[in-house]
Structure 1
Amino acid sequence: MDEKIFFNQGNVRVSNSRFIVDGQTYAMSNVTSVKSGVTPPDRGAAIIIAIIGLVCLFGSGWVFVAGLVALAIAVLTWIGSKAKYSVILNTSSGENQALVSEDKPYIANVIASLNEAIVSRG
Structure 2
Amino acid sequence: MTAAPQAQARILQRLLALLEMRLQQVDEWQVPLPEATAFESIEPFCVDRMSLQQWLRYLFIPRLRAMLDANAPLPGSCAITPQVEMVLHNNKKARITEVTLAIDLLLTENRMPPAKLLKQA
- Normalised by the length of structure 1, the TM-score is 0.25
Larger relative contact order (CA 8 Å, sep ≥ 6): 2
Structure (1/2) with the larger helix percentage? 2
Structure (1/2) with the larger strand percentage? 1
Larger CA Rg, structure 1 vs 2? 1
